[in-house]
Amino acid sequence: MDSGVLQAINGVSFAALLFLLASGFTLSFGLMRVVNMAHGAYYLLGGYIGLSITRYTGSFALGILGGGLAIIPIGYLIDRYLIRRTGENHLAQVLLTVGVAFVMGDIALKIWGGDNLKVPTPIELRGAIELPGGIIYPTYRLLLIVFGLIVSLSLWLLYRKTQIGAVVRAGVDDREIVSAVGINIDRLFVLVSALASFLAGIAGVVGGAFLTLYPGAEWEILVYALVVVIFGGLGSLEGAMIGALIVGLLDAYGRWLLPEFSYFVLFGPMAILLLLRPQGLFGREH
């Protein structure tokens, strides 16, 4: 019983991290019809930058903020000068952004090297807490869950309850009408893109503190984010939340029960999803 609960917490904390990455990815697609495979590289680079900032300033909070902010201009440049030239050709977008990710990955390799690096966390976060029921669990991962809840709640409120969120939702629904109504759709794109980049960057710092950062990490985390979006449906924020929970829990239980086959644990439910509802739980039919 203990172990089951432990895995559930593992799964939810991983889900929190995945949501940070997947939410930006899914909104980028929903609004801008852009598939940005460099999101994993944003995570990695944001993580490394946050790592350096934390080492230099001694502040984890600054590291998180810095890692996120640093990716915003990078993401903007990539959107504006590269992705925009592909129109809505999704294969071209995939190839282009994979190429960008390769380049970013090598740059990161050159600067930070190939070893596993851990983002240093403040002392207060390094211990463990005793939970009701006698489970001892790392403080950091519990806080990650709280952080994830705060971010998802904020995003959800922004998306569902504010005017700007309504505009974004309208844009996801029908881009042409939004610009016809006179809203500056370009500025909206820049905003959403910046948010996505920021979230990916802070995910890198936050994730790098317990998963460590290393060459290849950008692809491993990206694939998880893709599976989240496959389950949840492209373009849906709620889908990203539910999908993240599904993937996080599947992964945690999979690793615990079948360590050698943990990837297969993802595959089974994916296959069932493909047979029953290929567009994802909250996705649109194509």
Partner 1 sequence: MRPYRAILWLLALAAALLAPLLVGQFWMTLITQIYIYGLLALSVDLLLGHAGLYSLCHAAFFAVAAYTTAILQVRYGQPTLIAAPAGIVAGTLLAVIYGVSVRTRGVYFILITIALGYVLWGAVYRWASFTGGDNGITNVPPPSVAGITVSSQTAYYYLVLAVVILCALGYRILIASPFGLSLRGIKASESRMRSLGYRTTLHLYAAFVISGAMASLAGVLYVYYNRFINPVAASFQISVEVSLMAIVGGSGTIIGPFLGSGIVLGLRNWVSSFFEFHAAIMGLAFIATVLWAPTGIVGFVNRLRARDATAKEKAPKEKPQ
List of residues contacting partner 1 (CB under 8 A): 29, 35, 82, 85-86, 90-92, 94-96, 98-103, 105-107, 109-110, 219, 223, 226-227, 229-230, 234, 259-264, 266-267, 270-271, 274-275, 278-280, 283, 286
Q: Which DSSP state fits 209?
A: T
Distance, CA of 135 to CA of 9 (rounded, Å): 11
Q: Could you tell me the smallest distance in angstroms from the CB atom of residue 114 to partner 1?
A: 11
Q: Which DSSP state fits 138?
A: E
Q: Could you tell me the smallest distance in angstroms from the CB atom of residue 272 to partner 1?
A: 9
Q: Could you tell me the smallest distance in angstroms from the CB atom of residue 58 to partner 1?
A: 32
Q: Could you tell me the smallest distance in angstroms from the CB atom of residue 147 to partner 1?
A: 26
Distance, CA of 248 to CA of 50 (rounded, Å): 24
Contact between residue 42 and residue 198 where contact means Cβ atoms under 8 Å apart? no
Distance, CA of 85 to CA of 63 (rounded, Å): 33
Distance, CA of 178 to CA of 200 (rounded, Å): 27
- Closer to partner 1 at the Cβ: 63 or 254? 254
Q: Could you tell me the smallest distance in angstroms from the CB atom of residue 177 to partner 1?
A: 22
Distance, CA of 225 to CA of 231 (rounded, Å): 10
Q: Which DSSP state fits 210?
A: T
Q: Could you tell me the smallest distance in angstroms from the CB atom of residue 7 to partner 1?
A: 18
Q: Which DSSP state fits 82?
A: T
- Closer to partner 1 at the Cβ: 66 or 280? 280
- Closer to partner 1 at the Cβ: 66 or 283? 283
- Closer to partner 1 at the Cβ: 244 or 266? 266
Residue indicated by tokens 């380049």: 103
Contact between residue 206 and residue 14 where contact means Cβ atoms under 8 Å apart? no
- Closer to partner 1 at the Cβ: 56 or 263? 263
- Closer to partner 1 at the Cβ: 92 or 135? 92
- Closer to partner 1 at the Cβ: 182 or 259? 259
Q: Could you tell me the smallest distance in angstroms from the CB atom of residue 88 to partner 1?
A: 10
Contact between residue 42 and residue 75 where contact means Cβ atoms under 8 Å apart? yes
Write the CA distances from 83 to 37, 42, 99, 117, 248, integer angstroms: 11, 15, 11, 31, 30
